[in-house]
């Protein structure tokens, strides 16, 4: 799906890739984030005189996250500019970097799936915060403090009494 025909790229120097990766696609199956709707992939692919392939463009979609405080589901608008460099393996050490990938030798297609997947997985946390002042859940009874208070705080024993009790018991 996210593949570039390298022979065609050789003839045309530049290709546009415009894809929609469905939320249920194979590439998200193992560790990927959950999407609401497809991931929009708009990339421009260019080949350079030195045999590199440069991929530049945008990834956009709606990611389903959980609030780390109250565990409510939230939606994150993902919209990222991306830039990947694919270099032949003998050049890899010349240009080290986070976003330099190995360009397979004598391949007919360049598969962008893992680069796109990695980019999304590494930049998209599973948890977010639903709103600035989210009060979270009571650690004792699980009450969502955004909705209601609970009585747990009142029952919390005062640590000073514990200290006195310890003295009395000695």
- The β-bridge partners of 41 are 19, 59
- Interface with Zn ion (CB under 5 A), residue from 56, 138, 144, 145: 138
> Least distance (Å) from Zn ion to the CB of residue 150?
3
Q: What angle do CA 103, 80, 18 make, to 5 degrees?
A: 60
Does residue 149 belong to the site contacting Zn ion (CB under 5 A)?
Answer: no
> Which residue lies nearer to Zn ion by CB, 93 or 156?
156
Does residue 152 belong to the site contacting Zn ion (CB under 5 A)?
Answer: yes
Scanning 13-21, 46-54, 59-67, 110-118 for contacts with Zn ion by CB under 5 A, the matching segment is: 59-67
C-alpha distances (whole Å) from 100 to each of 73, 76, 93, 97, 146 are: 35, 27, 10, 6, 45
> Least distance (Å) from Zn ion to the CB of residue 127?
10
Q: Which two tokens stand for residue 122?
A: 């590494």
> Least distance (Å) from Zn ion to the CB of residue 75?
13
Does residue 8 belong to the site contacting Zn ion (CB under 5 A)?
Answer: no
Please tell me the distance from the alpha carbon of residue 25 to that of residue 39, in angstroms, as a whole number: 10
User: Nearest CA to 116 among 27, 12, 9, 8?
Assistant: 27
Please tell me the distance from the alpha carbon of residue 128 to that of residue 72, in angstroms, as a whole number: 10
Scanning 31-39, 69-77, 98-106, 120-128 for contacts with Zn ion by CB under 5 A, the matching segment is: 69-77
> Which residue lies nearer to Zn ion by CB, 113 or 143?
143
- Interface with Zn ion (CB under 5 A), residue from 60, 107, 126, 141: 141
- Interface with Zn ion (CB under 5 A), residue from 6, 87, 130, 137: 130
The three-class DSSP label of residue 154 is: helix
Does residue 74 belong to the site contacting Zn ion (CB under 5 A)?
Answer: no
With beta carbons less than 8 A apart as the criterion, state whether 44 and 18 touch: no
Contact residues: Zn ion, CB under 5 A:
67, 69-70, 130, 134, 138, 140-141, 143, 150, 152
């Amino acid at each position: 799906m996210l593949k570039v025909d390298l022979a065609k790229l050789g003839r045309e120097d530049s290709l546009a890739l415009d894809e929609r990766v469905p939320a249920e696609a194979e590439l998200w199956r193992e560790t990927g984030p959950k999407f609401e709707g497809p991931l929009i992939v708009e990339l421009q692919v260019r080949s350079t005189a030195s045999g590199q392939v440069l991929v530049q463009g945008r990834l956009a979609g709606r990611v389903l996250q959980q609030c780390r405080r109250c565990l409510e589901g939230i939606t994150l608008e993902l919209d990222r500019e991306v830039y990947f460099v694919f270099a032949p393996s003998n050049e890899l050490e010349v240009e080290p970097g986070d976003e330099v990938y190995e360009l397979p030798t004598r391949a007919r297609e360049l598969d962008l799936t893992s680069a796109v997947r990695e980019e999304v997985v590494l930049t998209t946390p599973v948890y977010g915060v639903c709103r600035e002042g989210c009060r979270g859940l009571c650690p004792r009874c699980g009450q969502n403090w955004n909705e209601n208070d609970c009585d747990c705080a009142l029952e919390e024993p005062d640590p000073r009494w514990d200290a006195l009790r310890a003295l009395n018991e000695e």
